[in-house]
Amino acid sequence: MKTGFVGIIGSPNVGKSTLMNSIIGEKIAIATDKPQTTRNRIRGIFTDIRDDGGDSAQMVFIDTPGIHRPRNRLGAYMTAAAADTLREVDAVVFVVDRAPREGADDPVVSLLAGVDTPKIAVINKIDTMPPDLFRSVFGQYERLGLFRHVIGVSALEGKNVGKLVDMLKGLLGEGPMFFPADMVTDHPERFIAAEIIREKLLLYLDDEVPHGVAVSIESYEEAPGRARIGAVIYCEKKSHKGIIIGKGGRKLKGVGKSARAEIESLLGAKVYLELWVKVSERWRDSEFHLHSLGYGG
């Protein structure tokens, strides 16, 4: 069996989480069209047991925050988490949706150039890319000489995702399984519940609010057939609190209804979800708040 850890890395909003979800076949990481949606390293487990003579495999994918030039402590944590992944994995999937910038002007390419780990460049969103543009972008990444393979995929449509998995199998060595075959993530349910709530906030909120929002699960109780979850939504300004709650509480109710439905699907149980909104000014630059919210160790 081919086994190993695979890091998924790239700039913000190139489709890393969507790609991992497509490979796993289930939604493990939240994905929106807003950059920097992923804040922590999210682990998804892909297991392929073959009885047709092909290579069986178990790959543990690590979806990382988008690498960017940080403007606060949270941004610095996110970028460091992505960079650290390169030293911990057996293969790297570098996701892009455009041509590379020149040399040192591309922080991710510069980072990859100093790493010996086998790498695959994945040009995502080919469903939206004219053929001539794709060929140009493909050639530019191929000429960098950093990658064992270059491949175009559509993570949203699943196009060429199976080919990418086969390429990764060729980069991994033989080894034992790390997790049971039916396990798709090693994150606890409360972590995923918090991420689902944050995803719904990103989808419901105006552009100026999302990056200043965090979710903390304050209570989590499970019983046969049901779960009771209490979560606090932190924002940085009183005006943002009003936006999150909405007129007559409608926006917060919409977030709660949407999150509750998805969490119920995840748990296979009835969920009672309570949400509160609190203001914590400049929490993204506070080591205490970042640590209490699960960022930075």
Please give the Cα distance from 124 to 97 (Å, whole number). 5
Q: From start to end of 204-259, where are the E strands? A: 214-223, 226-235
Please give the Cα distance from 149 to 131 (Å, whole number). 19
- Unique residue bearing structure tokens 């979710």: 215
pLDDT in tens, 63-106: 876 554 545 555 555 556 656 667 788 999 999 988 876 654 46
Residue type, 135: R
What residue spans define the domains of the chain?
2-174, 189-292
Determine the average pLDDT of the residues in 26-55: 70
Return the minimum-mean-pLDDT range out of 2-6, 9-13, 232-236, 286-290. Answer: 286-290
CA 170, 9, 63, 164 dihedral sign is: negative
Question: Is the CB of residue 141 less than 8 Å from the CB of residue 114?
Answer: no
CA 18, 128, 135, 157 dihedral sign is: positive
Model pLDDT, residue 35: 46
Model pLDDT, residue 67: 53
Of the candidate CATH numbers 3.40.710.10, 3.40.50.300, 1.10.8.60, 3.30.750.24, the domain formed by 2-174 belongs to 3.40.50.300
Question: Is the CB of residue 265 less than 8 Å from the CB of residue 192?
Answer: no
- pTM summary value: 0.70
- 10 or 228, which is more confident: 228
Question: Is the CB of residue 197 less than 8 Å from the CB of residue 259?
Answer: yes
Paired tokens of 128:
């939206």
pLDDT in tens, 162-172: 999 999 999 99
How many CB atoms neighbour CB 87 within 10 A? 9
Mean pLDDT of the chain: 83
In this model, does residue 236 exceed pLDDT 90? Answer: no
**pLDDT grade, residue 139 (50/70/90)?**
very high
Please give the Cα distance from 29 to 21 (Å, whole number). 7
- What CATH superfamily is the domain 189-292? K homology (KH) domain (3.30.300.20)
Q: How far apart are the first and last CA of the chain?
A: 33
Question: Is the CB of residue 159 less than 8 Å from the CB of residue 127?
Answer: yes
- 124 or 111, which is more confident: 124
Quick one: what percent of the chain has pLDDT higher than 70?
Answer: 81
Determine the average pLDDT of the residues in 34-59: 75
pLDDT in tens, 239-279: 889 989 989 999 999 999 999 998 888 788 899 999 999 99
Model pLDDT, residue 100: 78
Model pLDDT, residue 70: 47
Give the HSE-up count for residue 137: Cα atoms under 13 Å, Cβ half-sphere: 23
